[in-house]
């Protein structure tokens, strides 16, 4: 079998690994970039030793034992709990919005009343998506949910997506629910961490097998020859030369700066919902607790994706976009041996663990299934 994987990101790498080790077949993996690892690419700054996440902050988190066990074969982990902040009304507060945030923003008597009401209404330790909480007619709950909407979500979401939170799929804002507890962690998954030697090294280890050949600086557009199986982790509209139109994406511009002081901010990420044009500032040395006199930060500016100008980072969850994707998939399904997978290929807002989980499912159900039925 001649196998080609288009895209050497996490999806492509895990798939190549399974083809090489489980099927014992040879596979060529290509990427148009000059690096492996796709959007989880990171690199060590030679002066400070700080590993910089080139395409936005990446924190691995999962409840999936199988995914954790698989990746743990290829990396050791730095035990990192992500506890970011947001700058709201002149104060640096905890996010996800939780009971601690309430005490940071309101006088203690008011905060206590809100805390009691939230616990009575939802129970301690509940996680409530903002759009759910906004439906609650109770005066106090309505006060706090509207406050969170106004100061934490509205302007951030308009910057990030170009839409109000109520105009995008509710799963997007539900990624950061309101916590009725004092847990400041962004993620509550059982397994969390940062690869001790970086994500790129982890992907390099996943791809390190004699059956796998890697070719970088290679766009599929310019690849010739016959392949029995094409696994495409790029965007499906590009594969079909945009015959039905372009799938929209959100892009980002990264402003990376070296700062001549030990620390710039308290945590790895500070969100700025209402101030400045960027959404957040990431300080990379926090991820692995790297010691250095200097620090490196990245300011993240959301942008519209424009073909041949910038990169695709976020699929935009809207029904009309899904319809366009489905139209392309109908074409794809007619072609034997052509598969679309990954955050771009599936046009889904996948976290890293979901991307790996999808490869496992795809490999078991589609590839091994097809072999059994052949
Ligand atoms: P990608 O990494 O996008 O890889 C696709 C690859 O295909 C790219 O390298 C691209 O160059 C290549 N390609 C495309 N078209 C072609 C072509 N025609 N020819 C050759 N090559 C091609 N997940 C988490 O779990 N935790 C986080 O904290 C987190 N933070 C994130 C922050 C940001 C800003 C972003 C954008 C994503 C974040 N993610 C996070 C999600 C994570 O990045 C993805 O789950 C993961 O990168 C998906 O990997 P992939 O291989 O499917 O896609
Ligand atoms: N969000 C927000 N304010 C915040 C953090 C998140 O409005 O301070 C909303 C915003 O719409 C964002 C979504 O919640 O796109 C998901 O946030 P997450 O931090 O998961 O985004 P990612 O890291 O994937 O860019």
Is 372 a residue whose pLDDT tops 80?
no
Residue ranges and CATH numbers for the domains of the chain are 3-36+207-248+316-373 (3.40.50.720), 90-180 (no CATH)
pLDDT, tens digit (0-9, with 9 covering 90-100), for 38-82 = 999 999 999 999 999 999 999 999 999 999 999 999 999 999 999
Compute the mean pLDDT over every residue in the chain, rounded to the nearest whole number: 97
Ligand 2 pocket member 252 (CB < 6 A): no
Q: In percent, how much of the chain has pLDDT > 90? A: 97
Ligand 1 pocket member 39 (CB < 6 A): yes
How confident is the model over 138-144, as a mean pLDDT?
98
Using omega within 30 degrees of 0 as the cis cutoff, is the peptide bond preceding 135 cis?
no
| Residue nearest ligand 1's atom 9 by CA | 38
Is 32 a residue whose pLDDT tops 90?
yes
More confident call, 22 vs 370: 22
151 Cβ contact list (under 8 Å, min separation 6): 88, 89, 273, 274
| Residue nearest ligand 1's atom 33 by CA | 56
pLDDT given for residue 371 in this prediction: 75
Is 119 a residue whose pLDDT tops 90?
yes
How confident is the model over 156-176, as a mean pLDDT?
95
Ligand 2 pocket member 273 (CB < 6 A): yes
How confident is the model over 97-122, as a mean pLDDT?
98
Number of helices and strands in the chain (H, E)? 14, 19
311 pLDDT band, cuts 50/70/90, is: very high
Q: What is the rounded (10 degree) CA torsion for 107, 112, 113, 118?
A: 120
Please give the Cα distance from 40 to 56 (Å, whole number).
8
Ligand 1 pocket member 84 (CB < 6 A): no
Q: Identify which of 28, 58, 305 to mutate to test ligand 1's pocket (most ligand atoms within 8 A of the CB).
A: 58
Is 370 a residue whose pLDDT tops 90?
no
Please give the Cα distance from 325 to 347 (Å, whole number).
7
pLDDT given for residue 369 in this prediction: 81
pLDDT given for residue 45 in this prediction: 98
Ligand 1 pocket member 352 (CB < 6 A): yes
How confident is the model over 268-284, as a mean pLDDT?
98
373 pLDDT band, cuts 50/70/90, is: confident
Ligand with minimal distance to 94 CA: 2
Ligand with minimal distance to 315 CA: 1
Task: Report the sign of the C-alpha dihedral through residues 39, 42, 45, 48, in that order.
Answer: positive
Measured from the Cα of 312, ligand 1's closest atom is 3
Interval between CA 326 and ligand 1 midpoint (Å)? 21
pLDDT given for residue 368 in this prediction: 86
pLDDT given for residue 161 in this prediction: 97
């Amino acid at each position: 079998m001649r196998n080609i994987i288009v895209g050497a990101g996490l999806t492509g790498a895990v798939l190549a690994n399974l083809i090489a080790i489980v099927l014992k077949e040879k596979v060529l993996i290509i990427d148009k970039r000059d690096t492996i690892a796709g959007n989880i690419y990171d690199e060590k700054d030679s002066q400070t030793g700080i590993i910089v996440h080139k395409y936005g902050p990446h924190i691995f988190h999962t409840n999936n034992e199988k995914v954790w066990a698989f990746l743990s074969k290829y990396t050791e982990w730095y035990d990192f709990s992500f506890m970011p902040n947001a700058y709201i009304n002149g104060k640096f507060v905890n996010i996800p919005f939780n009971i601690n945030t309430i005490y940071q923003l309101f006088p203690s008597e008011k905060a206590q009343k809100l805390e009691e009401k939230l616990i009575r209404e939802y129970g301690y330790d509940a996680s409530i998506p903002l759009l759910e909480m906004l439906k609650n007619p109770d005066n106090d709950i309505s006060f706090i949910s509207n406050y969170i909407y106004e100061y934490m979500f509205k302007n951030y979401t308009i910057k990030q997506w170009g839409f109000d939170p109520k105009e995008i799929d509710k799963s997007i804002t539900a990624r950061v629910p309101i916590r009725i507890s004092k847990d400041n962690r962004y993620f509550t998954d059982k397994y969390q961490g940062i690869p001790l030697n970086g994500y790129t090294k982890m992907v390099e280890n996943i791809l390190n097998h004699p059956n796998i050949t890697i070719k970088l600086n290679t766009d599929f557009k310019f690849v010739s020859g016959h392949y029995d199986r094409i696994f495409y982790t790029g965007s499906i509209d590009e594969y079909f030369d945009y015959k039905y139109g372009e799938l929209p994406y959100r892009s980002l511009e990264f402003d990376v700066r070296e700062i001549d002081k030990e620390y710039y901010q308290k945590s790895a990420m500070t969100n700025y919902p209402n101030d400045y044009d960027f959404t957040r500032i990431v300080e990379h040395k926090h991820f692995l607790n790297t010691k250095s006199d200097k620090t490196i930060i990245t300011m993240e500016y959301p942008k519209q994706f424009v073909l041949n100008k910038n990169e695709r980072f976020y699929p935009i969850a809207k029904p009309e976009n899904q319809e366009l994707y489905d139209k392309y998939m109908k074409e794809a399904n007619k072609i034997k041996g052509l598969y679309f997978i990954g955050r771009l290929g599936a046009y889904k807002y996948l976290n890293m663990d979901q991307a790996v989980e999808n490869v496992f499912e795809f490999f078991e159900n589609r590839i091994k299934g097809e072999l059994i039925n052949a």
